[in-house]
Chain A
Amino acid sequence: MADYTIKVRRYQPESGEPAYWEEFNVELDPSLSVLDGLLQAKDRDDGSLAVRCSCRAAICGSCGMKINGKSGLGCQTQIGEAQEQADKMAAVTGVTAAEASSPIGTEADNAGLHTSGATATVTGNAPIVIEPMGNMPVIKDLVTDMESTHWTKIRRVTPWLLPHGEAPEREYIVEPESMVDITQSMACIQCGACVSSCLSMEADPLFIGPAALAKAYRFVGDPRDAETSERLTDLAHDPHGIYDCTHCFSCVDACPKGVAPMDQIMRLRRKAGENGIEDPNSGHAHEMAFVKIIEKKGTLDEALLVQESYAPGILGKLLPSKRGIQETIRSLPTIMRPLLKRKVKLRQAIPGTHHKLPKDAMAEVQAIYKHAEEHNEEFNLYIKGEEGDPEAAVEERLEPDNADYLPTQGEKEA
């Protein structure tokens, strides 16, 4: 048993008052969850504290919330760990999680917020800060309106199987791996943690978003679905679709079930590219331009981005496509703006003058490309591990020579 102070961002819609912070002192075993802490506060102190919850075992997806600023499930986060995190934040930054958490309403509120953050809690520890999920309207306390955001977006991707013709007499015969592959996105419990953490959605509320796009991959990757190309075209053409993701990994980090929504979005992009789907954003061509330029120069030569996106290679320049010319002209204001604001020097804007990395550094960059090509396998919890030994796979990736620049997802999950 240990004492904890949980600091909850509360909002009681019928009171007419703005949101406010309230601290509760709870006493429970560190191995129990943040949700257990909230339920204890609700049971003992204030039954009006609203929080959706049901299974307590990270399977129903009800208790999405932000804990110390990070989106996740209340039931899956051990309260002892949440306390360590809150203490660490306070120690490292000199700011408690409470102070760093989203400001509320008026300046007076914020002032109050800072004072209470600085005051030592009853338990003497930094309080564990709990807030409702982001990117969604709050209904009451930790309860958010998922219907108007999350579920509307899910319905946007035509979330049901669209097979061709009559069903077979028996089951569809499909590659066993294909089912395991989409089981990763089937593992999504629709908790909304990824939506809550999505930085792209914060900038563009219309972004279809990580959960709905992961759901889309569940059909695009399903060999029984007959509308693969239509689905991909739809998602590639939507300006708020697959190319609206900025690759920030927040959703991968937040997802409690290892669905890795961003990976599913990348799969959608790859499939769109493979299917030759031209999109108005030129998202795929743009992506390929990034890959090509960095392979050649080691770092990004932004001056080459436009021409490589719209008129790739020598052929592209000799025989520019009509669209290539149009898009290049259309990009001119975007190119000019940083020049005029002097964020970019003129010589940086001249294509081809960007420096190349020194030879040994280039060798390392190429090693990354080689490694990526050789290990072109999906990160999938249901497949991870080779020859039945997940550690072997991870150890191999952690060879000291190439450990610095390798993706960390596999290691984190191992």
Chain B
Amino acid sequence: MPSHDVLVIGAGLAGQRAALAAAEQGVSVGIVSKVHPVRSHSNAAQGGINAALNPDDTWESHAFDTVKGSDYLGDQDAIEIMAREAPEEILHMEHLGVTFHRNEEGKLGTRAFGGASAARTYYVADITGQAIMHVLYEQLMKYSEQITRYEEWFSSSLAIDENGECCGVVTRNVADGSMELFQAKSVILATGGSGQIWKPTTNALICTGDGIAMAYRVGAKLMDMEMIQYHPTTLAGKGFLITEGARGEGALLLNKNGERFMEKYAPNKMELASRDVVSRAEQTEINEGRGFPDGTVALDITVVPKKRIHEALREIVLVGRDFAGVDITREPIHIKPGNHYTMGGVKTDVEGRTDIPGLYAAGEVACVSVHGGNRLGANSLLDTLIFGKHSGRDAAARALRTDWSKPSGKVLEDEQAMVDDINGREKGSGRRVSEIKLELGQTMDSKVAVFRDEAGITEALETVRRLQEEAKTAYIDDHGSVFNQDLMGAIELGYMLDCAECSCIGALERKESRGAQYRTDYPERNDEDWLKHINLEKTEDGPEISYSEVTITQWQPEARTY
């Protein structure tokens, strides 16, 4: 049985940062990822990472923008930590080798981003996530003696000991199908979000909510699962992301009449209002007939000087060319709001600790909560690094003071039985896994999206529950051991359905409009009744609802305008 003091599951930014932070404490670390680490979805973060690093900027300003962006649902203690530690973390990344953009003096340069009162977004062209993640992976290679990498190992179940503490995980070696129980004193989930339950989505195919569901299944609480961000600028149909950096560089949003419609919705910040605000504005234009026939509005990047486009928005030039057949330096590109980010997730404290001792979560899988009802652009990379670091350190500290607890082999037996069950289903005995995924994605995108109401969410929930039943008999074609992606797809479907159920329950429960949750039947924010987090805990009859306080330190809720 492989064992490590600290085991990190998922190797995007949060996971890699956590592994490095834990290793610095002198403990043995293993990092497990179902894909090679550099394939992780942190790659897709284009625009940049926020920090109040300029002498004329303050962490309080960054924190306030984040609180306001969250529609006051973010926990202010966590937001303060993130904003305070951001500058040091950016410098740390720079020292490790990230090729951040420089200004003329050769110092770190910034760009503007949505919902921010200062230009505080640091970036590498429009490949910021990729650039940071590849540098972290360089560090993983450098410290390969302290950190063991398990690349392409698929985790499927957390092991809990008799004291109710997390002590390991069952994983499957994708290359040969062998299953192992990994032992650990602390386990950090860093598996990302659950965007794949929507279709289309900007999220990669691997974002199937694995960690959210695994934690939920062993009794950890989930929080704010109704808070799902729709990004204002995605390619229609395909869901590809066009960075907010484009608007940061000056690009405009226009409806079919050529009107700069954001004047109506956010007269001060215009295109750079919070994402929920911009997405709702676009969707309103489209719904009221001022969009293009393909259900989109236009993003006009041609107003940005070409030299600047080539230097700072290179990836978007490629996305336009390869995936929309549009030269963005010459003509506007059609975009619409598209599913993008899971603000909710596994409830943690500021050290990444979940309700289960020994189990941590960091990054998009977690809900600390720094994003509350709506995440600001360029705060997600920051979240992964800051709370990855905190989780890694705390998990290592716990490992140093904790004795080994031997996980029961039963969890491995159960897992093997589950795999045998899936393998044993006869062709034609039920639906194909891919069919169920498609129906789930389309249902969620039509009923639990930018605008929601009780009837729609209820319908979505009913569909999800039916699909949960159908998933029990869904069959697969591949019964082999080597690279059985079919089997992993069936297990992922289970994760997705758990997450979808929780997102529906949360959306149905929150009878107000706040951040990304806009209920047409409850269009106002209602601080009196709903300035609180919705927590969900697994029971035999589905998720049980409870509430927790929003931590307020210095910013009382106010009306939110941009």
Tell me if B141 and A140 are in contact (CB < 8 A): no
Tell me if B95 and A163 are in contact (CB < 8 A): yes
Tell me if B477 and A160 are in contact (CB < 8 A): no
Residues of A close to B481: CB separation below 8 A: 14
Tell me if B315 and A59 are in contact (CB < 8 A): yes
The contact string, 1 if C-beta is below 8 Å from chain B, for chain A 148-164, is: 00000011000111010
Compute how far the CA of A42 lies from the CA of B485 in the bound complex, rounded to whole angstroms.
10
Compute how far the CA of A250 lies from the CA of B127 in the bound complex, rounded to whole angstroms.
25
Decide yes or no whether A17 CB sits under 8 A from chain B.
Answer: no
Residues of B close to A170: CB separation below 8 A: 91, 107
Given contacts A47-B477, A139-B175, contact A176 B434 (CB under 8 A): no
Which listed residue (B35, B138, B482) contacts A159, Cβ 8 A?
Answer: B138
Question: Which partner residue on chain B sits nearest A40 by CB separation?
Answer: B434
Question: Which partner residue on chain A sits nearest B35 by CB separation?
Answer: A54
Decide yes or no whether B104 CB sits under 8 A from chain A.
Answer: yes
Decide yes or no whether B241 CB sits under 8 A from chain A.
Answer: yes
Given contacts A222-B97, A224-B97, A389-B306, contact A189 B103 (CB under 8 A): no
Decide yes or no whether B541 CB sits under 8 A from chain A.
Answer: no
Compute how far the CA of A383 lies from the CA of B314 in the bound complex, rounded to whole angstroms.
10
Question: Which partner residue on chain A sits nearest B327 by CB separation?
Answer: A414
Compute how far the CA of A392 lies from the CA of B105 in the bound complex, rounded to whole angstroms.
28
Tell me if A384 and B310 are in contact (CB < 8 A): yes
Residues of B close to A189: CB separation below 8 A: 38, 43, 130
Residues of B close to A367: CB separation below 8 A: none
Tell me if A176 and B39 are in contact (CB < 8 A): no
Tell me if B141 and A381 are in contact (CB < 8 A): no
Chain A contact-residue range equals 35 or more
Tell me if A160 and B141 are in contact (CB < 8 A): yes
Min C-beta distance of B439 to chain A, whole Å? 13
Decide yes or no whether A220 CB sits under 8 A from chain B.
Answer: no
Tell me if A56 and B204 are in contact (CB < 8 A): yes
Min C-beta distance of A57 to chain B, whole Å? 5
Tell me if A161 and B39 are in contact (CB < 8 A): no
Tell me if A183 and B138 are in contact (CB < 8 A): no
Which of these binds chain A: B71-79, B262-270, B317-325, B381-389? B317-325
Compute how far the CA of A13 lies from the CA of B206 in the bound complex, rounded to whole angstroms.
24
Residues of A close to B97: CB separation below 8 A: 160-161, 219, 222, 224
Compute how far the CA of A52 lies from the CA of B485 in the bound complex, rounded to whole angstroms.
9
Compute how far the CA of A389 lies from the CA of B489 in the bound complex, rounded to whole angstroms.
47
Min C-beta distance of A67 to chain B, whole Å? 14
Compute how far the CA of A188 lies from the CA of B78 in the bound complex, rounded to whole angstroms.
34
Compute how far the CA of A390 lies from the CA of B317 in the bound complex, rounded to whole angstroms.
13
The contact string, 1 if C-beta is below 8 Å from chain B, for chain A 374-389, is: 0000000111110111
Residues of A close to B102: CB separation below 8 A: 174-176, 179
Question: Which partner residue on chain B sits nearest A169 by CB separation?
Answer: B91
Residues of A close to B486: CB separation below 8 A: 47-48
The contact string, 1 if C-beta is below 8 Å from chain A, for chain B 441-457, is: 00000000000000000
Question: Which partner residue on chain B sits nearest A168 by CB separation?
Answer: B95
Extra inter-chain contacts (10) besides given A48-B478, A59-B43, A176-B103, CB under 8 Å: A12-B480, A42-B434, A52-B35, A52-B39, A57-B241, A58-B318, A174-B102, A176-B104, A179-B99, A179-B101
Contact sample, A vs B, 20 pairs, CB 8 Å cutoff: A12-B480, A47-B477, A48-B477, A50-B483, A55-B39, A55-B204, A57-B323, A60-B35, A60-B204, A140-B482, A154-B141, A159-B141, A171-B91, A171-B100, A173-B105, A175-B102, A189-B38, A258-B314, A385-B307, A388-B307
5 tightest A-B CB contacts, nearest first: A388-B307, A43-B434, A161-B97, A48-B478, A47-B486
